[in-house]
Chains A and B, each alone.
Chain A
Amino acid sequence: EPEVTQTPSHQVTQMGQEVILRCVPISNHLYFYWYRQILGQKVEFLVSFYNNEISEKSEIFDDQFSVERPDGSNFTLKIRSTKLEDSAMYFCASTVGLEQYFGPGTRLTVT
């Protein structure tokens, strides 16, 4: 069964460093998303992406964040200068209809 994959599963970085989280959405899906979940808190929407551009973003998704679909399969989230409060689980999701399918997540730890 097709699934969303994400790499790495865990990333540890120092404050101020740039990180790139990678996702491979399900192949025939057209809409892509990033969500994050701070430990013990709700899953929160960050950004949606369609037709090679951002279609919606939340207030969390500030200038430190960017997304890209560099080729036909990968979808990346870049955080330019990480802060301690960026530590969270980051989930990629994709859909072709209404049901969003989530990847296994990348746990980002900023020290």
Chain B
Amino acid sequence: EDKVVQSPLSLVVHEGDTVTLNCSYEVTNFRSLLWYKQEKKAPTFLFMLTSSGIEKKSGRLSSILDKKELFSILNITATQTGDSAVYLCAVEVPGSEKLVFGKGTKLTVNP
């Protein structure tokens, strides 16, 4: 069953646009939710969220977690072509060390 669901699956925007990527999950009492950016190969770590309502920010990227409604969003402002990638959301399952990934959102930023 799908425990981590990302939407949209695919998104095409123009440079300068702002995008919001969504991640909902069906795992309660988890330890953390993580966002990764996957370009050609390895997922590269972006954010780890453990507390509800606290925004994490890194440059043009920001993310927030809502533990009550069981979702997280990743915002990218003033997108650039270099932001084109698949963005993965993963949840750390309680009582386990593994990450459960969503299918990802493929973002394409056109010049």
Residues of A within 8 A of B (CB): 4, 31, 33, 35, 41-45, 48, 50, 55-56, 58, 89, 91, 98-105
Contact = CB atoms under 8 A, between A and B. Distances in A.
- Of A4, A48, A102, A103, chain B has the most CB atoms within 10 Å of the CB of A102
B100 to A, nearest CB: 7
Interface of B: 31-32, 34, 36, 41-45, 48, 50, 88, 90, 92, 96-104
Contacts of A105: 41-42
Contacts, number: 52
Contacts of B101: 42-44
- Of A33, A100, A105, chain B has the most CB atoms within 10 Å of the CB of A100
- Of B32, B48, B99, chain A has the most CB atoms within 10 Å of the CB of B99
B88 A91 contact: no
Per DSSP, are chain A's interface residues mostly helix, strand or loop, or mixed? strand
Given A56-B97, A91-B42, A91-B43, A102 B102 contact: no
B98 A45 contact: yes
Nearest 9 Cβ contacts at the A-B interface = A45-B98, A43-B101, A102-B42, A104-B42, A104-B41, A48-B97, A105-B41, A102-B43, A42-B101
A103 B42 contact: yes
Contacts of B104: 42
Contact of B31 (A56, A89, A98, A100): A98
B44 A102 contact: yes
B48 A56 contact: no
A55 B97 contact: yes
Nearest to A6: B42
